[in-house]
Structure 1
Amino acid sequence: MARSLDVSARLISFFGVWLIGCLILFGSWGAIANAEESEAKHPEAGSTAIPDLLIGSAQQDITPPTGFPMSGYFHERLATETSDPLFAKAMVIEQGDTTVVWVVCDLVGVTRDLYEVVSRKSESLHGIPAENHILSATHSHTAPDYKAHLVRHLRGELETDESESQDSPYATKLVDGIVGAIGEAISNKRSSKIVAGNATQTVPVSFNRRSVMKDGSIRTWQGESNSDRLHAAGPIDDQLGLVAVVDSKSGRPFTICSSYALHLDTVGGTRWSADYPALMQRAVAENFGEDVLSIFGAGTCGDINHSDPSRKERNSCEFIGHALGETLVEEVRSMLSKSIETSSEPSPQLKYRHAVVPLPLQTLTKQKIARAKALVPRAREGEKIDFEDLVAANRDVQLDRLRNDPSWIDDDDPANVSPMIAWQGIGDRLPVEVSTITLGDELAMVFLPGEVFVDLGLAIKRHSPFKTTLVIELSNCVETAYLPTHAAYAQGSYEVINSRTKPGSGEKLVAAALSLLRSAAADDAPAKYETLSELTAR
């Protein structure tokens, strides 16, 4: 009997130990599972997990009414009709606490006044810091000359002007259209992946428009029919930079960004037109879906246009748009097919870098100002003025306004060709901005002000530590006008005459861009802001 009780006690003890062990084991598994779930929802500080990349895009129509002034040339044109609508196209990129806005407008340029009113209004409405906004222009020469109109609107003068239409002024449509596109893009954000690359544009559509002449001078817009022309004074950039933004869930692209170095002056006339990017949008819609947005950023094309020096006929807008559209479609299809193999990779880290780079403005003399005051009104009255003299006169009026805030220019003065508010009387340096958006080590997008010579953009691409680098000009201000290379300043001709900053300014932008790219490649900080004033002393 005692032996039976002893065996029973041992069995009870064994099963008790076994049960406790099971409870401990299952409890451990549950704790591990709960810990993993908690970690997935709330990564610990210092975790290497990268949040989802959220991207949204949208567009809004910013076409002015007929009768509104057109930009692009040194004489007045009033629009008579619309060939194709003008748009503001926005893309919003968000990861964690960092959000960046990029908007491309079918405009000849983004004035500082337009940039500031849009970025501040967007910040107020959407909570995205103003300095995290990048506004670029395509440089269409069949877009509105809105500068004076916007200045009057910002001063509140249009609302009380009986000569204005009873409808809201165009400036309201322009600002609200850009800000509205940003808001729609924010609403459209979704988990996204990016695929980036470059295509070589084999069909010749771009040409360096500066030529070396037999006497050693440089002249712009010279064909081979001129026996004194020797050869092009510089290169072209035949790379079409591409970024396909793909919906992570559906695997379909919903936005395709591109950049190419070629002046948008292929249409002419008095009809509103977005120029050849409108045909690229058509190619994207026909091949990837009507809902897929094409966003085109102008590459560094300050000395590049569409006129083949060997031919009398210029390449048409249709020819250029179809050629670039075909290249885009073919390369994006190839990029997307290759990306299927890496579709499970984690999101690349978004990094934003922003720098203010003070560029020295050219100096002025009283004689230059007096000459400009006399020439500009005569040209406006229809008198034939030497083209380069007229370009120089317009330059000097704007320089005087930037440097000195002159009292002699008022709204009714016939020499008032450069109305402005934000940078009037800014001083002897222009505080332009250089920005970069990078995603992992795959993609860098560099944004520069003004009309930049192609050599400068090529230098940035050549030294960039990222696999694909797009360099986009005419961002956040147009007041610099042309930004030639240092060597080009010594050679002269149209672009040099039509510049505002001193020699070496373009190289300062290159140095700033490369500094930001190095920071993005080596520093894990998602966003950094600085003033690179030391570059002005180099």
Structure 2
Amino acid sequence: MLTSLHAAEALRAGAYAQDISPTKFPIPVNGSMKGAFAQGITDPMHARCVAIHDGTTEIILCVVDACMIPQDICDKAKEIAAKKTGVPANHMMISATHTHSAAALGPAFQSDPDMEYVATVPARIAEGLIKAHENLEPAEIAWGFGSDPSQVFNRRWRVKEQEQYENPFSITTDRAWMNPGAQNPKVSVPAGPVDPDVGILAVRSAADKRPIAVLANYSLHYVGGNPAISADYYAAFANEMAERLKATDARYQGKPAFVGIMSNGTSGDINNINFASPIRLKREPGEQIKIVARSVADAAMTAYDTMKWSPTTKLAAEETVLQLGVRKADAAGLAQAKQTLEATPKDKDGQWADRKAIYARETVKLADYPDKVPVKLQAYRIGDLSIATLPCETFVEIGLDLKKSTPFTRHFTVSLANGYNGYLPTPEQHKLGGYETWRARSAYLEVEASTKIAEKLKGMLAKLKGK
């Protein structure tokens, strides 16, 4: 029988990758302003889960191959898993990778999900959480950071003082331009920084050093280029790590399979395209995904090979919900939006192609939102590593600020976690305008939202440090 002291030091870990792919096609796909449909599967969608137990406290971290996950799906999955495992729901994280080629789980622009498929998803995610818990075994843990600046570029560029462009609200004063095109003469320099960090948290079997799971974090929006359904570079990275760690060796047969996981960092204004370059090479389907996955895996392995493993760690978790304001049109703006929709014809597919009409539709949809919405935040302590989570497409400046201010040795932030509340620009980036600030169901939180969220997360991290 373990003493209470030893029990608190007995680290266990388990992992599981649960397939949540749709089985009926065509199926709606998020990622564009027009609704699209997938006709089959290029590579499947998974809920990739890792459970960690320090002898007293257990946490389960899950990353789902999806563009975004509404909060109700996350809450339902956690409720099912909590009843089965005894792990509190507020010790579970469920985030989306942000692949733009997965079956839709929530509405975005003119893409609405297949609700019959969505109804099956909470139980399937929960199964992944439960099996990760059931796979707990004596383990060792380590974390580290690599760097890959070659795959991240700030996609927002500053518009030159003498230049302008018109946004969907007929405004020409935006000073930031998202994805302006290669060497656009109207823009000068990127409007923000990048974060090249590749953070990894790893667990391995204490008995045979078998890799159990690697949870990585990189601030890259997505890559694209695969036909839907596809888990994008996130799954390709997981496969790379399995191969490099020799996790499928014959000597491990009969043991739980290794689970590679890539979480989305603070990539709301970051993508994989260098608009300063005059040439963008043409790639075959999936080619760029593999290039990025290999590059990021190189950085991850650099960190992995130098990590110090420990049979113990200290786990703690904090969760809170902020009520934040929703940016809506005033009465005149709403009336104008309705008029625009009435005056603008749809395409043959029954959808609007005109951006002004698309955003007018968003204005009408947002009018039905409450004045304030819940925004769920979490913070985790894993020894000297801290992790923050938030349900937004988070601008990189916010993640860099949290890394500087954490009271722990190192930190990373997981975006698109435990719900979806759209883009999260800083107030300074709101002033510059641009796509990520344009009012829509994908960008609707109050201008000061990032300031309030960052302040709350810093307080949560400070509280964890004291535990």
- Alpha-carbon distance in 2 for matches of 1:142, 1:376: 28
TM-score with structure 2 setting the length: 0.85
> Residue 402 of structure 1 aligns to a residue in which SS?
coil
- Alpha-carbon distance in 1 for matches of 2:36, 2:281: 22
- Alpha-carbon distance in 2 for matches of 1:183, 1:175: 12
> 1:133-144 residue pairs with structure 2 within 5 A?
133-144=92-103
Distance 1:519 1:126, change over 3 A: same
- Alpha-carbon distance in 2 for matches of 1:178, 1:49: 29
- Alpha-carbon distance in 1 for matches of 2:20, 2:218: 23
- Residue matched to 1:348: 313
- Alpha-carbon distance in 2 for matches of 1:257, 1:95: 17
> Residue 380 of structure 2 aligns to a residue in which SS?
strand
> 1:5-44 residue pairs with structure 2 within 5 A?
41-43=2-4
Distance 1:185 1:372, change over 3 A: farther
- Alpha-carbon distance in 2 for matches of 1:284, 1:191: 22
User: Shift of residue 374 of structure 1?
Assistant: 5.2
- Residue matched to 2:137: 190
AA of the residue aligned to 2:272: H
> 1:375-454 residue pairs with structure 2 within 5 A?
375=340, 378-379=345-346, 382=350, 385-387=353-355, 389-390=356-357, 392-403=359-370, 428-441=371-384, 443-454=385-396
Please state if 1:318 is matched with 2:287: yes
- Alpha-carbon distance in 1 for matches of 2:341, 2:423: 20
- Alpha-carbon distance in 1 for matches of 2:155, 2:183: 14
- Alpha-carbon distance in 1 for matches of 2:13, 2:459: 26
User: Shift of residue 150 of structure 1?
Assistant: 9.8
- Residue matched to 2:232: 275
- Residue matched to 2:18: 60
AA of the residue aligned to 2:314: Q
- Any stretches of 5+ residues in structure 1 without a counterpart? 1-39, 154-168, 404-427, 525-538
Please state if 1:295 is matched with 2:261: yes
Distance 1:297 1:315, change over 3 A: farther
Please state if 1:243 is matched with 2:201: yes
Distance 1:346 1:77, change over 3 A: closer
- Alpha-carbon distance in 1 for matches of 2:380, 2:48: 17
- Give a deviation string over 1:43-96, Cα, whole Å, max 9, x none: 3xxx69733122211011111132011111111211122111111111222234
User: Shift of residue 385 of structure 1?
Assistant: 4.7
- 8 A Cα contact 1:196 1:468, kept in partner: no
- Alpha-carbon distance in 1 for matches of 2:339, 2:11: 56
Please state if 1:520 is matched with 2:447: no
- 8 A Cα contact 1:308 1:315, kept in partner: no
Please state if 1:130 is matched with 2:89: yes
User: Shift of residue 500 of structure 1?
Assistant: 0.8
- Residue matched to 2:152: 206
User: Shift of residue 240 of structure 1?
Assistant: 0.9
The CA RMSD measured in Å over matched residues stands at 2.6
- Alpha-carbon distance in 1 for matches of 2:182, 2:291: 26
Higher relative contact order (CA 8 A, sep 6+): 2
Matched residues, percent identical? 25
- 8 A Cα contact 1:193 1:248, kept in partner: yes
Identify the structure with the greater helix proportion.
Answer: 1
Please state if 1:366 is matched with 2:331: yes
> 1:159-178 residue pairs with structure 2 within 5 A?
169-178=116-125
- Residue matched to 1:92: 51
Larger Rg: 1
User: Shift of residue 496 of structure 1?
Assistant: 0.2
AA of the residue aligned to 2:322: V
Distance 1:467 1:256, change over 3 A: same
- Residue matched to 2:243: 286
- Alpha-carbon distance in 2 for matches of 1:314, 1:357: 44
- 8 A Cα contact 2:328 2:363, kept in partner: no
- Any stretches of 5+ residues in structure 2 without a counterpart? 163-174, 249-256
- 8 A Cα contact 1:283 1:329, kept in partner: no
Distance 1:74 1:131, change over 3 A: same
- Alpha-carbon distance in 1 for matches of 2:281, 2:152: 11
- 8 A Cα contact 2:66 2:105, kept in partner: no
User: Shift of residue 456 of structure 1?
Assistant: 0.6
> Residue 25 of structure 2 aligns to a residue in which SS?
coil
TM-score with structure 1 setting the length: 0.75
What is the aligned counterpart of 1:500 among 434, 444, 451?
444
Number of residue pairs aligned between Structure 1 and Structure 2: 433
AA of the residue aligned to 1:196: W
Distance 1:83 1:55, change over 3 A: same
User: Shift of residue 133 of structure 1?
Assistant: 2.3
